[in-house]
């Protein structure tokens, strides 16, 4: 694609049925570079196909229409279809105005695990390594390196398995020349809610992935799963390393799973010194 160019397009099926005409504007060739335009990223997670996500979708439509974001990350639990394909269709139609206008990059959540993540694997086309079918991958937008982390398993238990640990370690090491290294995956390594998601399972994920993120200078780790907004100070081994967000000595962790679904919001707590904000 040519940079900074508007494209109009439509899609046809094998039996010559055509979609409506859509359009998008490609990114500036220097976006995300130190001296280039800022890369503006929208981040959501835990978003349903039904009316519970109306406020989020309507807000996203406005910022997309006003050209206020360049990229959308959906960090797991998209649609809440739970294996029911018609609800997947409902969800994708609902967000079509957004996903047809800006790049939408996804990572798997626990509500995608039905039938071995079959719908998630089939409905998206992310960069692929070793036939992982969208489960984990990475890409660059100039000086910004993104790593999509898979925190899921086929038995609905959070885990970063050994094969991904090796790949993530190699990938982030290769990206040390990037100005920013952003990692996103559904389940949080750090959060506060009083539930096992923020104690037992977060501790398991930290044991599997935190050293890799810290050693390879990850700057920002984004997650969902817990249905509220929480931001941590730069943190390592459950200790606040500093309060400098501009040049952190450890990753900054943000949980944002409040996009709207039938399970509602999660009670938030701030009881650790590494927690900066919860809402």
List the chain pLDDT tens, one digit each, 279 residues: 999 999 999 999 888 899 999 999 999 999 999 999 999 999 999 999 999 999 999 999 999 999 999 999 999 999 999 999 999 999 999 999 999 999 999 999 999 999 999 999 999 999 876 556 889 999 999 999 999 999 999 999 999 999 999 999 999 999 999 999 999 999 999 998 778 899 999 999 999 999 999 999 999 999 999 999 999 999 999 999 987 777 788 999 999 999 999 999 998 777 888 998 887
Q: Would the CA dihedral through 86, 73, 259, 56 be positive or negative?
A: negative
Beta bridge pairs of residue 107: 75
Is residue 214 within 8 A of residue 236, CB to CB? The reply is: yes
Are 244 and 207 a contacting pair, CB within 8 Å? Answer: no
Both structure tokens of 222:
């984004």
pTM of the shown model: 0.94
């Amino acid at each position: 694609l040519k940079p900074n160019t508007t494209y109009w397009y439509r899609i046809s099926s094998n039996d010559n049925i055509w979609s409506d005409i859509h359009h998008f504007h490609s990114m500036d060739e220097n976006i995300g570079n130190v001296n280039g335009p800022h890369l503006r990223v929208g981040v959501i997670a835990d978003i349903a196909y039904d009316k519970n996500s109306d406020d989020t979708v309507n807000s996203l439509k406005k910022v997309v229409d006003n050209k206020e974001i360049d990229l959308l990350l959906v960090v797991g639990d998209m649609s809440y279809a739970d294996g029911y394909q018609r609800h997947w269709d409902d969800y994708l139609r609902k967000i079509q105005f957004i996903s047809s206008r800006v790049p939408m990059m996804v990572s798997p959540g626990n509500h995608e695990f039905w039938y071995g993540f079959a719908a998630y694997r089939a409905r998206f086309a992310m960069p692929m390594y070793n036939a992982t079918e969208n489960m984990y991958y990475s890409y660059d937008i100039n000086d910004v390196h993104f790593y999509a982390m898979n925190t899921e398993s086929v038995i609905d238990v959070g885990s970063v398995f050994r094969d991904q640990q090796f790949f993530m370690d190699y990938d982030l090491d290769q990206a040390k020349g990037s100005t920013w290294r952003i990692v996103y995956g559904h389940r949080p390594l750090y959060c506060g809610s009083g539930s096992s998601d923020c104690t037992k399972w977060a501790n398991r994920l930290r044991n599997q992935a935190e050293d890799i993120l810290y050693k390879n200078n990850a700057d920002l780790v984004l997650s969902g799963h817990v249905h509220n907004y929480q931001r941590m100070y730069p943190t390592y081994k459950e200790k606040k390393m500093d309060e400098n967000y501009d040049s952190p000595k450890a990753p900054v962790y943000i949980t944002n799973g409040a996009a709207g679904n039938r399970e509602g919001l999660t009670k938030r707590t701030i009881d650790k010194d590494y927690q900066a904000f919860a809402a």
